[in-house]
Amino acid sequence: MVDVKLQSVDFSASNLSEANLSNSNLFFAECYNSNFNKANLRNTNLWCSHLDWANFDDCDLREASFMEANLSGATFRRSNLEGASLVAARLVKTDFQDANMNNCFVHGVSVWNVNLKGCSQTNLTITRDDEPTITIDNLEISQFIYLLLHNEKIRGVIDTMGRKAVLILGRFKPDRKVILDAIKDELRNLNYVPILFDFDKPITLDLTETIVTLAHLSRFVIADLTEPSSIPHELMSFVRDLPSVPVQPIILRDQKPYAMLEHLHHYHWFLPTYEYESQQQLLSELRDRIILPAERKVNEIRPEL
Q: What is the pLDDT of residues 193-227, one digit of tens each?
A: 888 876 665 554 567 777 888 888 889 999 988 87
Torsion of CA 178, 180, 183, 185, to 10 degrees: -70
Domain limits of the chain?
1-121, 151-301
Burial of 92 (0-12, 13-18, 19+ CB in 10 A): middle
Interval 77-119: pLDDT, tens: 999 999 999 999 999 999 999 999 999 999 999 999 999 999 9
Angle at 299 between CA 294 and CA 304, to 5 degrees: 140
DSSP per-residue letters across 76-126: -TT-B-TT-B-TT-EEES-B-TT-B-TT-B-TT-EEES-B-TT-B--SEE-
Q: Which of 76-85, 142-151, 214-223, 263-272 has the lowest mean pLDDT?
A: 142-151
Q: What is the mean pLDDT of the chain?
A: 87
Q: Is the dihedral of CA 174, 277, 194, 219 positive or negative?
A: negative
Quick check: pTM over 0.95?
no
pLDDT band at 4 (very low <50, low <70, confident <90, very high): low
Interval 227-260: pLDDT, tens: 766 777 788 889 999 999 999 999 988 877 676 7
Beta-bridge partner residues of 134: 197
Give the mean model confidence (pLDDT) for residues 256-265: 77
Q: Which residues contact 196 (CB under 8 A, 6 or more apart)?
A: 133, 134, 135, 168, 170, 180, 184
How much of the chain exceeds pLDDT 70, in percent? 88
Return the H-helix or E-strand segment holding 284. helix 279-286
Beta-bridge partner residues of 4: none
Q: What is the CATH number of domain 1-121?
A: 2.160.20.80
The CA distances from residue 255 to 121, 227, 228, in Å, are 35, 8, 10
pLDDT of 36 higher than 80: yes
Give me the pLDDT at residue 1, please: 47
Residue in 70, 67, 71, 87 with CA at minimum distance from that of residue 79: 71
**Angle between helix 174-189 and helix 279-286 axes, rounded to 10 deg:** 20
Q: Which fold has domain 151-301?
A: Rossmann fold (3.40.50)
Other CB atoms within 10 A of residue 13 CB: 13
